[in-house]
Amino acid sequence: MKLAEIFEKVIGPEADIRFAAYDGSKAGPASADISIEVKSPAAVAYLAQAPGELGLARAYVSGHLDVQGDMYDLLSRMWSLTINDIPASEKLAAIRALGIKPLLMRVQPPPQEVRRSMLAKMGSRHAKQRDAEAIHHHYDVSNRFYEWVLGPSMAYTCAVFPSEESTLEEAQYAKFDLVARKLGLKPGMRLLDVGCGWGGMVMHAAREYGVKGLGVTLSRQQAEWAQKAIAEEGLGDLAEVRYMDYRDVKESGFDAVSSIGLTEHIGKEQLPFYFRFLYDKLNPGGRILNHCITRPTGTEKTINAGGFINRYVFPDGELESVGYLARQMEDLGFEIRHEENLREHYAQTLRYWCANLDEHWDEAVEEVGQGTARVWRLYMAGCVVGFERNKIQLHQILGVKLDSQGAAHMPLRPSVDWP
């Protein structure tokens, strides 16, 4: 059985995808706007030895499988198609046609894949050294690469689009300002921003609200970039970003805490410590805004250790449901005052990032290599589909630390400019 025949059985005739393989077989309409090329037996070996998304990712990232056309369109069309859709009799026929050679061929994963054995040497999941390595893997790719993908805001978290016509920069400004307003920031307050990235939130708080902000990140490259940007904006008296684990912050007495895109890296077992630590950093009446990606329900696995995202993008990343996170916050003493789902906003944010990467593709490949650029192309396009199809969500939860009399020090209703 030729590879094109197997491809046709998997995707069906309606997918409008052109296919070609090294064995000379072809399938799909010649006029299709998307094409897949299996360039070598190594691609088949990857798929045979790791069926599903991991095998496909290995083949694509290594360059043994190529895609021409829009990656989002391809993933959207193939969203519900898996090897499990093939009847058992046809699977057996395909295996016989291919032989056992793909199963026996020695193919190493691409260097962009995180080795589980390497992480294990650094301690248990979410030990400090292991967390530092996981963050280094994803965030210390290249500040120049991130500038191309993220744009001038250097904000690597979900933006908030005031309208469908808003630009990415307008939406990232709106996101930071929404967080600031939910936290009730005012001149003279002190803000702790954990997992601060390139310092966008602390700079916004300092520039727009006169707030003294401390940001911490486990990425050395982020911290260096942020401190340089703070100095260039003349915000050094108010804003600071440190290269450090949030667990090592000694200061307390903060009026507000923002956590924008960090909880995904904390881990289910560490959540009680995480929320207790942040609770203890706040003054009575202080607010916390937790902004993070979540599972749509509490029934899914929190971590897929063998999946593409965990192996290539966010090692040790774990996603909980919003209900679970809210319960953890409540059990640690926070009163929940507001919650909202920004799922569609993240899909739109990712579309902008995908377009930015495509626009700078040749430069990005030169900067970080084809394999890493392909990881990002696959990861971001796949996440657009995931947010669109409600596979993943993005929630903001606002909590407050009550004073000794049970007062929240919150307005009766949000101000009119809080959407």
Pick from 256, 172, 153, 262: nearest CA to 212: 256
3-class SS shares of the chain: helix, strand, coil, % to 5: 45, 15, 35
How many whole angstroms separate alpha carbon 28 and alpha carbon 11? 10
If one counts every other C-beta atom within 10 angstroms of the C-beta of residue 269, the result is 11
Report how far Cα 417 is from the mean position of its chain's Cα atoms. 29
Report how far Cα 186 is from the mean position of its chain's Cα atoms. 30
How many whole angstroms separate alpha carbon 140 and alpha carbon 284? 36
How many whole angstroms separate alpha carbon 348 and alpha carbon 356? 13
Range list of H helices, 305-410: 308, 322-331, 343-359, 361-368, 370-388
Burial class of 40 by CB neighbour count within 10 A (0 to 12, 13 to 18, 19+): middle
Cβ 393 vs Cβ 295: under 8 Å: yes
Pick from 397, 419, 395, 417: nearest CA to 158: 395
Pick from 250, 253, 278: nearest CA to 263: 278
Burial class of 95 by CB neighbour count within 10 A (0 to 12, 13 to 18, 19+): middle
Residue 170: C-alpha distances to residues 149, 232, 419 (Å) = 16, 21, 15
**Residue 354 is a catalytic residue:** no
> What's the token pair of residue 332?
């640690």
How many whole angstroms separate alpha carbon 245 and alpha carbon 218? 6
SS3 309: helix
What Rg do the C-alpha atoms of the chain give, in angstroms? 23
How many whole angstroms separate alpha carbon 309 and alpha carbon 192? 29
Per annotation, catalytic residue among 158, 196, 292, 383: 383
Q: End-to-end alpha-carbon separation of the chain, Å?
A: 58
398, containing H or E segment: strand 393-401
> What's the token pair of residue 406?
């049970």
Q: Which residues are catalytic?
A: 383
